[in-house]
């Protein structure tokens, strides 16, 4: 019997895939869950139990948190990447690395097929298929829900027919959780005017009294909170545990999907949003004007390409090299106050703070030039404008 590997999360779509591959295609199904920070030990065990109840030959849980951080998250921090100035690529980026891991597992067990439960109307189908085709061109991709254009109800009825009757209909919202944030999709996000209700978000408001925290960065990487230094992965998880209690990092992202239609999705990403904004503030103090300007442009491209599944485009490695090099002086502490639903950045402390120069204090004193120097500088700086308007006085 030929083998097929399914990217399995325990949800409706992937459960349908398992049964379809067994019953309609007579394949030996092996499932793999790639954990990018969205599952507790109990949840991982529950998914494994469900996979075997579905009839898989084997099930594997793969934890790629450190790999995902090193190859993706740190560069998104370096670039302060927020798609459309809003979305920290909470799910978009992790799909790429989940796909890579699925391919590696399929090769390991010599599977002829790879399957996933994406529809034909979303971004994930593109990300998965592009990675699979790039890394494993000889492994065939099977996507029954996309190919058969199935509705959610049709999937449920098929599973019931084959003895699977979980309470799928109770899941009103589609939740995808990872270390860099959680996406939330529901009937409201299919409209242009409705917001998600408070109850839709997995993290609820638990704390109302403001809390001051200090974030430690070393060469652009978040390495500690309140003088407790740790790995970046552990620090992000700690920050999420603290900041999510304030219901921070919620928003709804509206953007252009890879397939060309507009898409709308809610998300909560407390650690990601606080980290990016704190990192950006530190950069404002320690980077030159032109470093910031060029980095912002390259980071925008990096985020767009990553979102669109173009991780293996060679220019991504070029941009990463620039982003990493730009972080040499991005070391210091950022002072943050967490509050219900929002936070404030109070300031930074860094040995590389360019405000500490002896050249002058903005709006107060000039120590490196005279009044005549300032007048001459302004006169020369304004010369191009004078030339243009003297020649084009009628405009």
DSSP three-state, residue 31: strand
Contact 14, 124 (CB under 8 A): no
Residue 222 has pLDDT above 90, yes or no: yes
Token pair 């943050």: residue: 336
257-306 pLDDT per residue, tens: 898 999 999 999 999 999 999 999 999 999 999 999 999 999 999 999 99
80, two tokens: 């302060």
205, two tokens: 């408001």
**Position with higher pLDDT, 383 vs 395:** 383
Q: Which of 198, 232, 245 is nearest to 327 (CA)?
A: 232
Contact 216, 222 (CB under 8 A): yes
pLDDT of residue 212: 98
pLDDT tier at 366 (50, 70, 90 boundaries)? Answer: confident
Question: What average pLDDT does the structure give for the chain?
Answer: 94
71-86 pLDDT per residue, tens: 999 999 999 999 999 9
pLDDT of residue 14: 93
Mean pLDDT value of segment 19-45: 94
Mean pLDDT value of segment 104-129: 94
Mean pLDDT value of segment 213-224: 98
Please tell me the class of the 3-162 domain.
alpha beta
pLDDT of residue 367: 80
The domains of the chain are located at 3-162, 174-287+329-349, 357-392
Mean pLDDT value of segment 200-228: 97
Mean pLDDT value of segment 390-395: 86
Q: Which of 42, 39, 35 is nearest to 61 (CA)?
A: 35
250, two tokens: 């919620």
87-97 pLDDT per residue, tens: 999 988 999 99
Mean pLDDT value of segment 203-217: 97
What's phi and psi for 106, nearest 5 deg? Answer: -60, -40
pLDDT tier at 368 (50, 70, 90 boundaries)? Answer: confident
pLDDT of residue 170: 54
Mean pLDDT value of segment 56-66: 96
pLDDT of residue 239: 98
Rounded CA-CA distance 88/255 in Å is 13
User: pTM for this structure?
Assistant: 0.93
Select the CATH number that applies to the domain covering 174-287+329-349 from these four: 3.40.228.10, 3.90.1260.10, 3.40.50.300, 3.30.460.10: 3.90.1260.10
Contact 38, 179 (CB under 8 A): yes
373, two tokens: 């120097």
pLDDT of residue 171: 64
pLDDT of residue 173: 84
pLDDT tier at 362 (50, 70, 90 boundaries)? Answer: confident
299-351 pLDDT per residue, tens: 999 999 999 999 999 999 999 999 999 999 999 999 999 999 999 999 999 99
**Position with higher pLDDT, 344 vs 11:** 344
221, two tokens: 């990487």
Distance of CA 364 to the CA centre of its chain: 42
Beta-bridge partner residues of 224: 216, 229
pLDDT of residue 116: 95
């Amino acid at each position: 019997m030929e083998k097929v590997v399914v990217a399995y999360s325990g949800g409706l779509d992937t459960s349908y895939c398992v049964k379809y591959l067994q019953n309609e295609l007579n394949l030996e199904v092996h499932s793999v869950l790639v954990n990018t920070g969205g599952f507790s030990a109990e949840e991982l065990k529950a998914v494994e139990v469900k996979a075997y109840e579905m009839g898989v030959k084997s099930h594997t849980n793969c934890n790629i948190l450190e790999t995902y951080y090193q190859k993706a998250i740190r560069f998104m921090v370096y670039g302060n990447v927020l798609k459309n100035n809003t979305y920290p690529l909470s799910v978009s980026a992790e799909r790429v690395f989940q796909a890579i891991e699925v391919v590696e597992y399929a090769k390991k067990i010599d599977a002829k097929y790879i399957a996933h439960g994406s529809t034909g109307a979303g971004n994930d189908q593109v990300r998965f298929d592009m990675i699979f085709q790039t890394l494993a061109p000889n492994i065939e991709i099977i996507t029954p829900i996309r190919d058969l254009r199935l509705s959610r109800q049709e999937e449920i009825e098929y599973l019931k027919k084959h003895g699977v009757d979980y309470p799928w209909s109770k899941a009103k919202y589609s939740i995808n959780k990872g270390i860099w944030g959680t996406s939330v999709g529901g009937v409201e996000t299919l409209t242009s005017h409705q917001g998600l209700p408070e109850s839709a978000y997995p993290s609820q408001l638990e704390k109302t009294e403001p809390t001051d925290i200090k974030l430690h960065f070393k060469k652009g990487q978040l390495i500690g909170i309140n003088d407790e230094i740790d790995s970046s992965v552990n620090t992000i998880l700690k920050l999420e545990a603290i900041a999510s209690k304030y219901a921070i990092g919620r928003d709804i992202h509206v953007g252009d999907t890879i397939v060309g239609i507009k898409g709308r999705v809610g998300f909560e990403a407390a650690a990601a949003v606080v980290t990016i904004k704190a990192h950006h503030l530190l950069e404002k103090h320690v980077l030159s004007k032109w470093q910031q300007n060029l980095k912002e442009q390259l980071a925008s491209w990096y985020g767009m390409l990553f979102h669109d599944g173009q991780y293996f485009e060679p220019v991504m490695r070029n941009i990463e090299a620039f982003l990493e090099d730009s972080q040499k002086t991005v070391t210091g502490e950022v002072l943050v106050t967490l509050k219900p639903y929002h936070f404030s950045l109070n300031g930074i402390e860094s040995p590389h703070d360019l405000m500490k120069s002896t050249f002058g204090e903005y709006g107060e004193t000039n120590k490196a030039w005279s009044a005549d120097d300032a007048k001459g500088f302004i006169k020369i700086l304004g010369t191009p404008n004078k030339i243009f308007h003297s020649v084009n006085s009628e405009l």
